[in-house]
A and B are shown apart, each in its own frame.
Chain A
Amino acid sequence: MIAEKPVWVKHEGLQIFSIDVQPNGERFATGGGDHKVRIWNMKSVDKDLQNLDPKERLLATLRDHFGSVNCVRWAKHGRYVASGSDDQVIQIHERKPGSGTTEFGSGEPPNVENWKAVMTLRGHTADVVDMNWSPDDSMLASGSLDNTVHIWNMRTGLCTTVLRAHLSLVKGVTWDPIGTFIASQSDDKTVIIWRTSDWSMAHRTVGHWEKSLGSTFFRRLGWSPCGHFVTTTHGFQKPRHSAPVLERGEWSAAFDFLGHNAPIIVVKFNHSMFKRTTSSAPETKRAGWSNGTSKSGGKDLQPYNVIAIGSQDRTITVWTTASPRPLFVAKHFFGQSVVDLSWSPDGYSLFACSLDGTVAMIHFNPKELGVRLSDTELDELKKSRYGDVRGRQANLVESPAQLLLETASTKLSGSKRVSSDTQQNQVTAKPSANMESTAKRRKSQVDDRSKTAEASGDALNKASTSNQASNPVNQKVYRRPDGRKRIIPEAVGVPQQENNIDVAINGQAHNFPPASSAAPGKEDNGDFPVETSNRDLSMKEVVVRNPDPKERPRITARATITESLVIEKVSGASGRDGTLNVEPSVGIKGTSSTDLLIRVFDWKEGEAAAPVCLEACPKDHALDTIGAVSTSMVKETEISCKRSGETLWSDRIIGRVTVLAGNPNFWAVGCEDGSLQVYTKCGRRAMPTMMMGSAATFIDCDDSWKLLLVTRKGSLYVWDLFNRKCILQDSLSSLISSNVNLSSTVEGTIKVISVKLSKSGSPLVVLATRHAFLFDTSLMCWLRVADDCFPASNFSSSWNLGSAPCGELAGLQVDVRKYMARKPGWNRITDDGMQTRAHLESQLASSLALESPNEYRQCLLAYVRFLAREADESRLREVCESFLGPPTGMAEAASTDTNLSWDPYVLGVKKHKLLRNDILPAMASNRKVQRLLSEFMDLLSEYENTEPADPGPKGSAPTIDCGGVPSSLDQMDSDPVAVTAITPLTIENEKPVSLGNSAALETSITCEKPGSEDRERQEQNSRD
């Protein structure tokens, strides 16, 4: 045994009322009569007495209380320390990142560690004298001189319950380690046991406290780690003061610890239980644990509790429940009453503090106390006695990391908080009219005070004056309407540059960036309902065979008059076997003169720049040139490309134009007779007319050189016009057969709403049922990415409903749902969980197929949260493993084998990053899976240790923030030089536009501003 009295642990010479050791053994906290809480470094009181730098001893001084600090208690997870004070409040402190600060005016050195008060618990109306955390840290019980015990919810910081049964000051509270009860002791000479389930009083015990004399600061009772005993304080049995022990269940005083000469103030059980060893040598004791000697052991190996008792007689006694005599008596350590005790986490050190303002540490060795039971052994013991405690306390946090991740997950799931910066911007932008700037005058400027005063009205002066001083404070000063001066302070720690920019821009300029950046988003919002209502309209019109042109929300704005096609599978009897005959449901007759107009905005030149328009204007040549011979047969269409009224180029095509498409690189015009003409940007016919066999009904192009075409007969083509190659030729026929089972329409008939290139560059077909199909070029088959198979899924109705769809998949989903909602027979079915899971899984796969990283991440999060909620460990494990990759050792070996090598990136995002930032925090939402969580956290950190620095995503893979450059575009992306060489400047700036027309309706389509996502994508392209 070694005893130690560190003289440097002090509270300005005043009383130290409380001491507590952090459960991880790194720090201990004291609270004193100087109103302060101090946090000390455990290394400085190490058993080995290896004293470190005195500056490192005191880690922090917390000055948040306005009264003596009576009690400090660490939470079990060690992240928080609670302190209760005479000022009636309880403060919860937490260590924040960064270095500690100095208390201004205190003259003391700055704190080593940055501990800050994070929560204030208000509610007591008198001094708070004792506190204890619940076993799972979710609650805190506090006893106060207002005769109550308050129970606090530590997630919200609110008082959940007040226990009022004591008739006098409550001076001690303790929590049952099983979590079923709490016990409180009061000056009314009773101990009350409360049920935690309903906070009813389980028992009021009157006993040996009856005869107790005198007053004590505290009556800090304690509950044994086995849960069986409650040792109380301040008992009296003639002629000695005692610590009466209550037994669980009966709650009657079973026996007393006797012998102190003055009232007992505090008792503290060791956190663990101990047992004797057959041999006292420490070596055998260690071996004994693993061998399970407890089985072979006899009575001697019965585990026992160790308890320390502190008294007003200035002594400390240490007892075991296996012996009637104290193991150890510490006298003459203190000049005044012992008021608090704390055991170190290893169970072999006892910390004590006294009203004389000093602390003492007593280090025992296993010979003296016995061998500590391991946590598992203790758990086993409790389990055998009380059943599976873990089951009841599934919420117990086992590591601080769990808590950190939980916070992260709540942040992720919570709606994005408007950043303070934005708020600040708004505030400054608004009062731009009366915004005044007071230049900050340093010493050198003071003389020309009047001059600067004049200038203060001039906002533009700010930039120049701020440059004058070496370290000026960038604050904004203005007068409120009521004439009071208001200062918006400078945020310290924000890069200086940002502030300068803030100041340099005057009110008007300030307004601009938010306005312009907000615009696309707003338009997205506005667009969607309009767009869908159009769609609704067109649905009706399918019936009357007169659909309306409508606008697509994509960059490549398209308007296709052949809104819905009826693709009929011609039966074998009627001619060609198995061939397809695509019939547009639209009446083509009587469509002779339609002007189509599309606009392309040049973004680089700003909003003012005129759009490029491509116009297809049918001309009835029967009257003009051809004459009577071919009146009914020959029609010409004039194609003209204009910019703000000025014609850039024009051409004439024989036949009626059904579809138009265009982007900065080329224009494509499809005709009724099945021909397709491709123009360069300047209107040169890039290649001979291509013959498709039947009229083009759907056309789309991407930003560079890819063109998609669907003919009336259901053939699908994707070309790379730059390399003059066919990327894909397939048919929509497989969709028909798959659709027969699902759709209510006539067998063999299928209505197509749209065919376009998805953002990832694969053909995406939306049928009238709103089922969406994506053609996977690697699998060479169609994938159904959006459908109505999961009406009961919890996510089918909540997914993005009410908010603007942020991604492709979400947009498709919303369509499906809107369509479903119109069906009369559709009912909401309650889900058994299976459908939700399946839905999420298919969503996840679909978003991966669509290569939509944001949605993928969103789905992944939802999926992991769902699995975590269901505590589906096997699926979670599989997900985590797939993101973790092969074991580190094998990873290198596997990398040589290209076929099996594990790709550390998914959609351009590092899998480990996803795992660390999204998956693991999402898993933290349910503590039932925390074992799995901590396992993967360990694995992940192992990986990160072995991994070299992040080499960055391979190739041109984008980050998650970008819209995503599809991998199928690699051919184009990998050859950016060639692309830009041909069309310099324009490739990043212009928006591709396509337009289809086969009806006699006038259309005017404006290519709307792209969503921010699209713009990012564009930027990504340009960066590549």
Chain B
Amino acid sequence: MSSINITNVTVLDNPAPFVNPFQFEISYECLTSLKDDLEWKLIYVGSAEDESSDQLLESVLVGPVNVGNYRFVLQADSPDPSKIREQDIIGVTVLLLTCSYMDQEFVRVGYYVNNDYEDELLREEPPTKVLIDKVQRNILTDKPRVTKFPINFHPEDEQTVGDDGPPPAELDDSDVNGEAQVLVEQPQQLQET
């Protein structure tokens, strides 16, 4: 059972110029109260080929996590174009919205993002040097890809099962399903708003 279910994500300010900040209004329901905060992250996939060009746009903690329905707006700066290869700026890429609890990712929402010039002429004859101010960003909001991962929201319950608790192998298993890989994004990339 997931303690947290995303009930809706509304992308505000879309489409918008490339340099505008991202705004996601996230609604979620909480079925069991959690001790720790939820960590929401927004990741911009700079290049399909290279994971290192992913940019962690924002990471926020949301809490306290009590039973009920909640919503908040996640705002993040636009990606730093200097960290994206020129040829990858224009075109379709992916934006990932993830949520983790105690460093375990349990849900990930992926959006396709299309970056292109708004101007008809520029679109047909793109300049050699990307004019970043003229690029329009369009998040394809109607087709989010939601992936859920099983994590244990109440690890302490596991221990109270007592002598008949599961062997550690199972715990490892659920950890593998969880986060870790996504966390390679280093915090220094975090950009302050």
Contacts and interface: CB of A to CB of B under 8 A. Distances in A.
Interface of A: 63-64, 66, 87-89, 91, 101-106, 116-120, 122-125, 150, 157-159, 161-162, 420, 423-424, 427, 438, 440-443, 446, 449, 453, 473, 475, 477, 480, 484-493
Contacts of B160: 158
B60 A487 contact: yes
B25 A158 contact: no
A487 B99 CA distance: 14
Which 9 residue pairs spanning A and B have beta carbons closest together? Answer: A105-B146, A117-B1, A489-B70, A420-B66, A489-B72, A162-B164, A492-B69, A120-B1, A486-B61
A473 B71 contact: yes
B61 A480 contact: yes
A423 B33 CA distance: 13
Given A443-B13, A489-B62, A87 B69 contact: no
5 contacts: A438-B193, A446-B20, A473-B25, A489-B28, A492-B70
A101 B7 contact: yes
B5 A488 contact: no
Contacts of A427: 64
B175 interface: no
Contacts of A486: 37, 60-63
B145 A66 contact: no
Contacts of B69: 491-493
Contacts of B189: none
B164 A159 contact: yes
A484 B70 contact: no
A420 to B, nearest CB: 4
B64 A123 contact: no
B61 A485 contact: yes
Contacts of A87: 150
Given A122-B166, A123-B164, A104 B7 contact: yes
B52 to A, nearest CB: 23
Contacts of B169: 125
Given A103-B5, A484-B59, 16 more contacts: A104-B8, A119-B1, A122-B158, A123-B164, A125-B169, A161-B164, A427-B64, A442-B12, A443-B12, A485-B58, A486-B61, A487-B62, A489-B28, A489-B62, A492-B70, A493-B69
A453 B149 CA distance: 36
B29 interface: yes
Contacts of A158: 157, 160-162
Contacts of B114: none
Contacts of A488: 62-64, 72
B72 A487 contact: yes
Nearest to B16: A446
B138 interface: no
Nearest to B8: A104
Nearest to B166: A125
Contacts of A102: 7-8
A585 to B, nearest CB: 58
B98 to A, nearest CB: 13
Interface string B5-25: 111110011001000110101
A420 B115 CA distance: 43
Contact of A490 (B1, B23, B72): B72
A88 B61 contact: no
A161 B165 CA distance: 10
A105 B111 CA distance: 11
A787 B5 CA distance: 56
Given A87-B150, A446-B16, A150 B60 contact: no
A493 B68 CA distance: 8
Contacts of B68: 420, 491-493
Given A105-B146, A123-B164, A158-B161, A449 B21 contact: yes
A63 B29 CA distance: 14
A319 B26 CA distance: 56
Given A158-B161, A473-B71, A64 B1 contact: yes
A104 B144 contact: yes
Contacts of A449: 21
Given A117-B31, A122-B157, A123-B161, A490 B61 contact: no
A427 B66 CA distance: 13
Contacts of B23: 441
A161 B162 CA distance: 10
B186 to A, nearest CB: 14
Contacts of A120: 1
A34 to B, nearest CB: 14
Contacts of B73: 440, 473, 475
A441 B75 contact: yes
B105 to A, nearest CB: 14
A598 to B, nearest CB: 46
Contacts of B146: 103-106
Nearest to B29: A101
Given A122-B158, A123-B161, A489-B71, A105 B144 contact: yes
Nearest to B31: A116
Contacts of A125: 166-167, 169-170
B31 A423 contact: no
B39 to A, nearest CB: 9
A811 B8 CA distance: 53
B27 interface: yes
Nearest to A440: B73
A403 to B, nearest CB: 19
Interface string B66-94: 11111111110000000000000000000
Nearest to B167: A125
Nearest to B158: A122
B8 to A, nearest CB: 6
Contacts of A420: 33, 64, 66-68
Nearest to A120: B1
Contacts of A438: 75, 193
Given A125-B170, A484-B59, A492-B27, A424 B165 contact: no
Contacts of B158: 122
B193 A453 contact: yes
A453 B193 CA distance: 8
Given A159-B164, A423-B64, A490-B72, A105 B12 contact: no
Contacts of A446: 13, 16, 20-21
A492 B73 CA distance: 13
Q: Which of A105, A123, A158 has the largest number of chain B CB atoms within 10 A?
A: A105
Contacts of A440: 73
B109 interface: yes
B161 A105 contact: no
A442 B25 CA distance: 11
Interface in B134-185: 144-146, 148-150, 152, 157-158, 160-162, 164-167, 169-170, 177
B33 to A, nearest CB: 8
A116 B29 CA distance: 11
Nearest to B39: A484
Contact of A150 (B16, B33, B157, B164): B164
Interface in B43-69: 58-64, 66-69
B90 to A, nearest CB: 22
Nearest to B146: A105
B146 to A, nearest CB: 3
A77 B146 CA distance: 35
Contacts of A101: 5, 7, 29
Q: In the complex, which of the residues B23, B152, B158 has the most CB atoms of chain A within 10 Å of its own CB atom?
A: B23
B144 A484 contact: no
Nearest to B142: A107
Contacts of B62: 486-489
A118 B16 CA distance: 41
A116 B31 CA distance: 8
Interface in B88-123: 109
Nearest to A117: B1
Contacts of B8: 102, 104
Nearest to A148: B164
Contacts of B29: 101
B164 A124 contact: no
Contact of A423 (B66, B150, B167): B66
